[in-house]
Amino acid sequence: MSTLDATRAELALVVLYLNKAEARDKICRAIQYGSKFISNGKPGTAQNVDKSTSLARKVFRLFKFVNDLHGLISPVPQGTPLPLVLLGKSKNALLSTFLFLDQIVWLGRTGIYKNKERTELIGRISLFCWMGSSFCTTLVELGELGRLSKSIKRLEKNLKDSDKYQNEEYCAKLQKSNDRTLALVKAGMDIVVAVGLLQLAPKKVTPRVTGALGFTTSLISCYQLLPSPPKSKVN
């Protein structure tokens, strides 16, 4: 493959990535929380960027609540323990509620909905829903990691006399475990971000802490949305 072909292929992946509304939202999220970290809650250019980017992101989330509503009514994989099923459905319900209420907040911030006090109240309720969904995600990922760990150990016993890293099933489970570990870290950080946005512990979770963690989880989200590179053919 020539240098030009390689460059064209890489640019195609970038275009594919940026065509996703979710990817653009997470890039804006990184800008928003990066600005929050810089401003540390103090008036200035960085805080203006934080507020304007936060408002702009709400456009990307219009009608996005339908995704989690669909997940709420979709069947779960067979063999999933009931507690994990209930936690997963609770996460879908809370996240869908957050995204729906967030649209009302957007209407209030743009001046379409005139009741400012109610807009602020709905905004806080939506953030509590998001915090609850992040908590449910944390528990789901912990449970799924436990199930994966047992499955990997059983597979290791069966592959005792062979190179386990040459086994496709083992490598797939290992990759899934890594993905879930990253999702667990992100969900845990998001809980703290929600605490910061709600100002539940203003002395410990300052705007700078909120900004730093929000920026980190945004980068994780951007990484999770990266398209898989095309597999090279081996002759």
pLDDT digits 0-9 by tens, 169-218:
888 999 999 999 999 999 999 999 999 999 999 999 999 999 999 999 99
The distance in angstroms from the start CA to the end CA of the chain is: 14
Give Cα separations from 81 to 6, 77, 153 (angstroms).
Answer: 45, 10, 19
The rounded distance, in Å, linking the Cα atoms of 115 and 109 is 10
pLDDT for position 205: 94
Task: Check if the beta carbon of residue 191 is closer than 8 Å to that of residue 134.
Answer: yes
pLDDT for position 136: 97
Residues 73-112: b if buried by 16+ CB within 10 A, e if exposed: eeeeeeeeeeebeebbbbbbbbbbbbbbbbbbbbebbeee
pLDDT for position 194: 96
pLDDT, one tens digit per residue, over 67-117 is: 888 988 989 888 889 999 999 999 999 999 999 999 999 999 888 888 889
pLDDT for position 233: 43
DSSP state of 7: H
- Stretch 120-125: mean pLDDT: 95
Question: Between 230 and 173, where is the model more confident?
Answer: 173
**Is 232 a residue whose pLDDT tops 90?**
no
Neighbours of 16 (CB within 10 A): 12
Burial class (CB in 10 A: 0-12, 13-18, 19+), 139: middle
